[in-house]
């Protein structure tokens, strides 16, 4: 089973930036489309960004133009650069396979944006 380890979260003021990282323990990482998800308190987990194996990307409307997803297949790592952060971006952020997540999730990384 694939293990996912997210990092890079923290407390930041509105308008600030953070870069999240996620390492996946699979030798075939490069063939999978990957995604970043988030779950705010009292809300369902939502997909915010995805990146295909070939590098094409897509974003939720709420983060389009502010977040950038990227990947480094040599490091089995997917990144999420988050700029112009808003209070509504506060959530625990997770990575997983895009659209059809693997059954196990990592611990996530907390992002808190203060206004």
Inter-CA distances, 10 with 25, 48, 97, 114, Å:
24, 18, 23, 11
User: pLDDT per residue over 59-95, tens digit each?
Assistant: 999 999 999 999 999 999 999 999 999 999 999 999 9
Residue 99 has pLDDT above 90, yes or no: no
pLDDT bracket for residue 53 (50, 70, 90): very high
Residue 64 tokens, joined: 């389009």
Residue 1 has pLDDT above 90, yes or no: no
Inter-CA distances, 106 with 10, 37, 115, Å:
17, 11, 28
């Amino acid at each position: 089973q694939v293990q996912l380890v997210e990092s890079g979260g923290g407390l930041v003021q509105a308008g600030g930036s953070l870069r999240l990282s996620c390492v996946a323990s699979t030798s075939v990482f490069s063939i999978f489309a990957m995604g970043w998800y988030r779950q705010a308190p009292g809300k369902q987990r939502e997909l915010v960004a995805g990146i295909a194996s070939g590098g094409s990307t897509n974003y939720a409307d709420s983060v389009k133009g502010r977040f950038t997803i990227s990947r480094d297949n040599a490091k089995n790592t997917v990144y999420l650069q988050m700029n112009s952060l808003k209070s509504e971006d506060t959530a625990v952020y997770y990575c997983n396979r895009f659209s059809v997540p693997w059954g196990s999730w990592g611990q996530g990384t907390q992002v808190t944006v203060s206004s």
